Structure 1
Amino acid sequence: MDFTLPDTALDVQRGVAAICSRYDLDYWQRCESDKRWPQEVWDELAKGGWLGLAVPERFGGGGQGLLELAVATETIAASGAAGGSAFTYVLTPGFGALTLSRHGSAEQQAELLPGLASGEVETCFALTEPDAGSNALAITTSARRDGGDYVINGQKIWITGVQRATWMLLVTRTIPAAEARPRSAGLTVFLVNVPEAVAAGRLTYRPIPKLGANTTPSNMVFLDDLRVPASRVVGRVDEGAAVLWDILNPERVLLAASALGGAEVALRVAVDYAKEREVFGRPIGANQAIAFPLAQVKAKIELARLMIYKAAWSFDRRLPCGTEANIAKLTASQAAWEAADAAFQTHGGMAYSLEYPVARLLTDARIGKVAPVTEELLLNYLATQVLGLPRGF
């Protein structure tokens, strides 16, 4: 067994870190406070070719896989972006480039992948609905065939990045859930041209006020008689579950990587403060009540990293990776929360001061325990699908 990162991933780590080293914690704090997309970082990532890592070389990309994307995401988050702001990287390289590289038609790939590689084209992903939540198979957004088009109606919620997206990967039902056998049948994924749909008045959205992660706005989305050509189906009609799992598993891995990076920056902030802050004539880090929780966090960070890399490695080799992706998401989110909580406790009352980044790191870390899937559902998957325990629903 070789636990060394391949040269491709190490090159990504070094290249992305070189860019991010020019943007400190204060930069990311300002982006969050101003609810502003980190345009400067995005432009540098695009110029360096880091947005096209998962795009095949013939379309101007790097020809790499999920492992390299995970390393890039972790590196951005660990530089100071933390989990919320690092999500800016997931939207296009993860949802768009990785999905279309694996499931897009030849025409879709030729049309979109060059722009995804350069950063000129951006994507978002629309699955969650107000009445379905984490039960993806219960979605009701419908797509009905009408000649050469499909007519789509429905609502989506917590759809991040619609404002910037050129294309939306939209999950619909072409067979109602009540009629689908098996339950995963009847899903179809579409590519929706967002600017065109907005201009036609067939796609509208409303931003959701959020506690944190405000560099990337999240939205309610409304679809009213939206016509989409049949050529915009990604994969096969009624068989979109295969595409969906290849979106959701990478999403878990990449958000685990962003949580891991958030844990790293929280731990770094806590350790630096514990070394500098003196009480009763010595640094507070000399006290086991401070030192031991931080040491525990370090151990959990390293364990989560191993599972993230294993899940990504498995996906890239087209091996089953659902269990690994879920464990990676569970453990990385827990590590991020414990790291941020320990950083908060280490700073004491100063954690409430916005002069320090701790409050942002704490709200960022809390997201991972509920989104894009709750801890409880991750545990339920492991209980029923891995351990074989009876289902509770």
Structure 2
Amino acid sequence: MDFDLPESATAVREGVRAIAGKYGQDYWDRCDTEKRWPEEVWTELVKGGWHSLAIPEEYGGAGQGLLELAVALESLAAGGAGGAASFMYLLTPAFGGLTITRHGTEEQKRAFLPAIVSGELETCFAITEPDAGSNAIAIGTQARRDGTDLVVSGQKIWISGVERAGFMVLVTRTIPAAEARPRTSGFTVLLVDVKEAVAKGTLTYRPIPKLGTNTVASSMVFLDEVRVPAERVLGEPDQGFAVLWDILNPERILAAAGGVGSGELVLEVACAYARERAPFGTPIGANQGVAFPLARIKAQLELARLMTYKAAWLWDRGRPCGSEANIAKLTAADAAWQAADRAFQTHGGMAYSLEYPVARMFRDARIAKNIPVAEELVLAHIAQHELGLPRSY
């Protein structure tokens, strides 16, 4: 057993931290307030190849793995980005880069991966629907065959980054749920040309006002006879559920990495305040009522980090990692939320002031307990698959 990170991952940590260190909390607060993408940071990540770590070298990437991608995300979050870092590494590096690398044809890889590496192409992912949130089996977006094309109609919700994306990784049904045997058959994953469909008026979207994570918009998406050539099917038609799970597990692992990094950031902010604030002549951090909860959060973050790295390590080796991905996501999201809540309490009334970054971190941390999968469903998965308890849904 070796708990040392490989040199590739430590180099990633140092490189991404160096970029993050150039930008203070004021920068991230401005991006959130102005509801704008952190373009300056993204440009630096692309220029250094830090976003294309898991893309094979033959297509211009670094030829590394999900572990390095997770370390990069964690480092960016801990370096100041907080919750914003997760979207910067999920939308294009994971949903586009990882998915096409694993499931694309050679023609698809050559068409899309170099464009992702160069920064010319960004992607988003569309699965969630108004009537099919966590229950992917129930999605109603349908693709019918018309010659060699597929024609897609339906509605998606909470689709982040569609306004920037050149292509969307879209999960649709090619066999209606009522007819599919088994229930997990009949899914097809498509690469949809967003800009072309928008220009034709067959794809429209409407941003949803949000409580936090405002550095990227999340939208309602409407698809009305969107035409997709057959050569843009990812994986096999009607057999897209395997592709879907190979998207969802990395998504949960990377979300966990973002939670660990965000938790470290907010813990650092809380401890800095606890060392400086001395209303009665002694820093409040000397009080066990302040110090012990912060110490407990540090322990929780270290445990979440270990499980996140283990899940990424397993995925990189093609081994089952569903339970590990879920446990990593559960523990990291909870630790990040506990850190944000305790930072709020540590700052007292000043936490309510927007002059401090605590409010943004507090808002961003809460949603991680619900996405990309609600903690109740994670617990149901663990109960069923790890404890052998009856399925509850």
TM range (shorter): over 0.9
Q: Residue in 1 aligned with 2:351?
A: 351
Q: What letter corresponds to residue 295 of structure 2 in structure 1?
A: A
> Is structure 2 residue 388 aligned with structure 1 residue 388?
yes
Residues of 2 paired with 1:262 and 1:148: CA distance? Answer: 46
Residues of 2 paired with 1:271 and 1:135: CA distance? Answer: 40
Q: Is the 8 A contact 2:21 2:80 kept in 1?
A: no
Q: Residue in 1 aligned with 2:52?
A: 52
Q: Secondary structure at the match of 1:362?
A: helix
Give the gaps of 5 or more residues in structure 1.
none
Q: Residue in 1 aligned with 2:169?
A: 169
Equivalent positions of 1:326-365 (< 5 A) are: 326-365=326-365
Q: Residue in 2 aligned with 1:370?
A: 370
Q: Residue in 2 aligned with 1:151?
A: 151
Residues of 2 paired with 1:380 and 1:370: CA distance? Answer: 14
Residues of 2 paired with 1:136 and 1:392: CA distance? Answer: 16
Q: Is the 8 A contact 1:351 1:358 kept in 2?
A: yes
Shift of 1:333: 0.2
Q: What letter corresponds to residue 335 of structure 1 in structure 2?
A: A
Residues of 2 paired with 1:317 and 1:132: CA distance? Answer: 32
Q: What letter corresponds to residue 155 of structure 1 in structure 2?
A: Q
Q: Secondary structure at the match of 1:326?
A: helix
Q: Residue in 2 aligned with 1:289?
A: 289
Q: Residue in 1 aligned with 2:66?
A: 66
Q: Residue in 1 aligned with 2:265?
A: 265
Q: What letter corresponds to residue 323 of structure 1 in structure 2?
A: S
Q: Residue in 2 aligned with 1:196?
A: 196
Equivalent positions of 1:127-142 (< 5 A) are: 127-142=127-142
Q: Is the 8 A contact 1:95 1:125 kept in 2?
A: yes
Residues of 1 paired with 2:134 and 2:36: CA distance? Answer: 28
Instruction: Provide the aligned C-alpha RMSD in A.
Output: 0.7
Give the gaps of 5 or more residues in structure 2.
none
Q: Is the 8 A contact 2:260 2:332 kept in 1?
A: yes
Q: Is the 8 A contact 1:84 1:212 kept in 2?
A: no
Residues of 1 paired with 2:183 and 2:329: CA distance? Answer: 25
Shift of 1:391: 1.6
Shift of 1:103: 0.4
Tell me the TM-score normalized by structure 2: 0.99
Q: What letter corresponds to residue 242 of structure 2 in structure 1?
A: A
* Cα-to-partner distance string for 1:359-389 (whole Å, 9 max, x where unaligned): 1111111011111111101001101122111
Q: What letter corresponds to residue 389 of structure 1 in structure 2?
A: L
Spell out structure 1 runs of 4+ moving beyond 3 A: none
Q: Is the 8 A contact 1:85 1:213 kept in 2?
A: no
Q: Residue in 1 aligned with 2:316?
A: 316
Residues of 1 paired with 2:183 and 2:84: CA distance? Answer: 32
Q: What letter corresponds to residue 306 of structure 1 in structure 2?
A: L
Q: Is the 8 A contact 2:86 2:254 kept in 1?
A: no
Residues of 2 paired with 1:291 and 1:208: CA distance? Answer: 39
Q: What letter corresponds to residue 30 of structure 1 in structure 2?
A: R
Shift of 1:177: 1.1
Q: Is the 8 A contact 1:155 1:221 kept in 2?
A: yes
Q: Secondary structure at the match of 1:143?
A: strand
Q: Is the 8 A contact 2:73 2:85 kept in 1?
A: no
Q: Is the 8 A contact 1:351 1:359 kept in 2?
A: yes
* Cα-to-partner distance string for 1:123-164 (whole Å, 9 max, x where unaligned): 000000000011011101001111010010100000000000
Q: What letter corresponds to residue 318 of structure 1 in structure 2?
A: G
Q: What letter corresponds to residue 256 of structure 1 in structure 2?
A: A
Q: Residue in 1 aligned with 2:26?
A: 26
Q: Secondary structure at the match of 1:179?
A: coil
> Is structure 2 residue 80 aligned with structure 1 residue 80?
yes
Q: What letter corresponds to residue 280 of structure 1 in structure 2?
A: F
> Is structure 2 residue 288 aligned with structure 1 residue 306?
no
Shift of 1:50: 1.1
* Cα-to-partner distance string for 1:46-67 (whole Å, 9 max, x where unaligned): 1111121111101111001100
Shift of 1:85: 4.2
Q: Is the 8 A contact 2:9 2:68 kept in 1?
A: yes
* Cα-to-partner distance string for 1:92-144 (whole Å, 9 max, x where unaligned): 01110011111001100000000111211100000000000110111010011
